[in-house]
Every structure is written in structure tokens, then in C-alpha cells.
Amino acid sequence: MSWLLAATEPVVRLTPQARIVAAILAVLFMLLILDLIRRDKLLERYSIVWFLLGLAMLAGAAFPDLLELIAKVIGVRDVTIGLFSIVLMILLALSLNFSVIASRQSKQITRLAQQSAIESIDEDSGSTEESG
């Protein structure tokens, strides 16, 4: 089983400094989200996922074993690459989610516009009704 190099080669870990920076950023990120909710700039329903992401960042900084586990699962020796891969995946999923939300809202806006257009006929029909 010597071809399973990833298991035997030394693992590249995060430096303590990187972990501290990550933890600080995670805390700041979560504070920012709380502030956005407080100022009504962000709806709660969209904030939860971001808050969870902040928590995950904090967890990654606090428990580096977690990142190593992830790196091992996806088969990379460098923990930072594992980290980047996971973050990329999450961002990809989030942006897809927002496209879905945008599509739904655009459909709703269209329906509203159509309703409003149909109602606008009834308003002007009194003055211009001469067809038929």
C-alpha cells in the first residue's frame, strides 16, 4: 500500500500565526453579519448561512485537526489546499443558491408586473372604451 503517499508523507499544516489571523477574521466576519442584521440590511433568512460559515471558519482556526481530517478525506497533503477547496465549494454552492433565489424573485416580479398591467387596463377602460 506504499502508493498511498498522502498517508505517509509529512502533512503541511497551518502555522499558529495563520490560525490566529483566521480566528480574528472569523470573529470580525460574524460581528459584521450581526451588525448588518441589526441595521436591517440583511434579512435573517439569508444571514444564517453566512453566520454558519463564520462559525466554521472559527472552528477551523481553533481545531486544526478538523482541517487535517478534511485534507485527508479529499486526498491532499497540504492542509491549506484542503481549506481552499472546501471554501471554494461552499462559495460555489452559495452563489448557486443565490441564483436560484434571484430566479424565483424575478419570476415573482414578472407576475406582479403582469398583474399591475392587467389592472391598469381596467383603470383606463372608462375613458377609452369604444372598441367592439
Chain residues that interact with other proteins, rule: CB under 8 A: 104, 107-110, 113-114, 116-118, 120-121, 124-125, 128-132
CB of 49 to other proteins, least distance (A): 16
| Radius of gyration of the chain, Cα coordinates, nearest whole angstrom | 25
CB of 42 to other proteins, least distance (A): 19
- Complex with other proteins: residue 9 or 123, whichever CB lies closer: 123
Helix (H) or strand (E) holding 87: helix 79-128
- Of 53, 52, 56, the C-alpha closest to 67 is 56
User: Could you give phi then psi for residue 78, rounded to 5 degrees?
Assistant: -90, 115
- Complex with other proteins: residue 15 or 115, whichever CB lies closer: 115
- Complex with other proteins: residue 8 or 127, whichever CB lies closer: 127
d(CA 124, CA 106): 27
CB of 120 to other proteins, least distance (A): 5
